[in-house]
Amino acid sequence: MTNRILAVVTSMLCAATFAFPQGDGGYEPIPPAKASAGKLGGGGGYTPGWLFMDVDALNQEIVAAGGAPFDDGRIFLQGGQGYAYILLVENLRVGGMGMSGSRSTSRLEVSTNVRRDVDLNVGYGGVTVEYTLAVVPRLDVTIGTLLGGGGMSLTLRRDEGSAMTWDDTWGDIGGTGAVTEFTRKMDGSFFIYQPSVTVEVALLRWLGIRAGVGYLGMAGGSWELDGHYDLLGVPDGIDASGWMINAGIYVGTFIY
């Protein structure tokens, strides 16, 4: 999970025309101040979300290896986002976001006492570019995208339920016989893109919340085994692409 930036979001209010007394007892109107052309400042805070990835291709591999498939592709992710409005383009803001999460599955064969575990981890981060549309006071709609990097990792474990000892572990490395208890890790790295639409509400002048929907896309993947070896022949469809539901809570200064 990434930490992100505390910031300030401000917008100018139009001042209403009013009068003040003159020496002759009359009143002279004062012209209203000109409002700002766009939003200023920035913001940051905590961003949780649900990722709904397609696990069909992954489940086929897990079942073929004797493990338990994932019942669905829902993964809870947590992270943070920070942003700042740029003055070159009205209501356009640039920032960064990072999120990560995991879930696991396990299967025990009672007849052989062999257990097979699969841990799935998803994480990504990148630059966000968003455009804000003011709907009514306190309420904005933001359209944008994230571009960056990240991916998924799979940790596979198999054991026979016996106690693990120092000598047996070294014996597995130095021996020539079959190893029945082991752990392997596969890491997939991808280019990440995430278009999204978000609704933002200013609850107080220093507190805002947001909720939205997006799509997490992964492209151009490469895989590595145990952190050292290139992993070839990975089937198509083994990635964490899927729809996302995002939320968030932000602190700063919100003028409405």
Q: Phi first, then psi: what are they for 226, rounded to 5°?
A: 55, 25
Q: Chain-wide mean pLDDT for the chain?
A: 84
Token pair of 122, please? 């998803």
E strand residue ranges, 54-181: 74-85, 92-109, 114-136, 139-159
Is the pLDDT reported for residue 238 higher than 60? Answer: yes
Cβ–Cβ under 8 Å, residues 49 and 243: no
Is the pLDDT reported for residue 178 higher than 80? Answer: no
Running DSSP on this structure, what letter comes out for residue 86? -
The residue written with tokens 């509400």 in the block is 201
pLDDT classification of 39: cutoffs 50, 70, 90: confident
33-to-10, 11, 16, 36, 160 alpha-carbon distances in Å: 16, 13, 8, 9, 77
Condensed to tens digits (0 to 9), the pLDDT of residues 96-115 reads 999 999 999 999 998 888 99
Chain centroid to Cα 122, Å, comes to 9
pLDDT at 255: 61
CB < 8 Å & 24+ apart, contacts of 230-234: 231/186, 234/188
Condensed to tens digits (0 to 9), the pLDDT of residues 121-167 reads 999 999 999 999 989 888 999 999 999 999 999 999 999 877 888 98
State pTM to two decimals: 0.80
